[in-house]
Amino acid sequence: MSASFENLLYRLDVASGILTLTINRPTKLNALNAATIAEIDAAMEQALDEPQVRGIIITGSGEKAFVAGADIAELAALTPAQAARASERGQEAFCRIEESTKPVVAAVNGFALGGGCELAMACHMRIASENARFGQPEVNLGLPPGYGGTQRLPQLIGKGKAIELLLTADMVKADEALRLGLVNHVVPQSELLPFCEQVLTKILGKAPLAVGLVLDCVNAHYAKDTDGYATEARAFGQAFESDDFKEGTTAFVEKRPAVFTGK
């Protein structure tokens, strides 16, 4: 199953429930312009509303770039007010990814710079090919990051190292990104998508409701004016009402694999 977008490939494997979203602007190294960000947001909204979609992979077309940054020519033409709105729009789109109750994995297949790094960080996990490169080079243009980079990078790798990378605009190779905790795994380019599918398939074998509640609880820790522990307690109680909880505990006692329905 697929949907039609101009700058995005939307491919759903109905058998597995895995949707692959591919940023498809190869002549621009998949750089993010306003239209592409809008399509990512629309595709995520569609995916979250589609019951057949159970997990999502976000990647870039080709073998050089995941997303090599924002479309600088488009940015340069903006007024300050338009730039602030563009930042807010990108943040909104990437927050939709982060707040998804369906697991989202970034398959980083090359350069993930600027908005590309920010897109990858909005995903729940990042799996990189060996040629992947990460960075927030916005200060080279006289800008701070605009799509959440100043907020998510410190969460993932710690404040001190994040500030260093944000202020120096240094690029990080895949092995260093793994050491820093910016990515979960590094694999050969040819194994990237199969490995992401393998990770998602393992997750999709768990109780869907519980998976979504875990994502909600983790995000609550970082949300403003939200008590993560209270969110966890509510989620724990909510899960007790589910058919999946009854199935999971029954299967454990009966020493058989659980068959979850997401209810």
Q: Give DSSP secondary structure letters for 44-60.
A: HHHHHH-TT--EEEEEE
Helix (H, G, I), strand (E, B) or coil at 133: strand
256/3 Cα distance (integer angstroms): 38
Name the active-site residue from 39, 98, 138, 197: 138
Q: At what angle do helices 159-168 and 149-157 cross, to 10 degrees?
A: 130
- DSSP letter at 6 equals S
Tokens of 126: 């990042």
Residue with tokens 């998602």: 200
Tokens of 86: 């563009």
Tokens of 73: 């020519």
Q: Give, in degrees to the nearest 5, the angle at Cα 50 between 46 and 55.
A: 95
Name the active-site residue from 45, 118, 164, 197: 118
Give the phi and the psi of residue 240 in degrees, each rounded to 5.
Answer: -65, -20
18 closest CA partner among 46, 49, 40, 47: 47
Helix (H, G, I), strand (E, B) or coil at 112: strand
The answer to whether 118 is a known catalytic residue is: yes
Q: Give, in degrees to the nearest 5, the angle at Cα 76 between 73 and 80.
A: 150
Residue 16 CB coordination number (10 Å):
13
195/105 Cα distance (integer angstroms): 11
Q: Which residues are catalytically annotated?
A: 118, 138
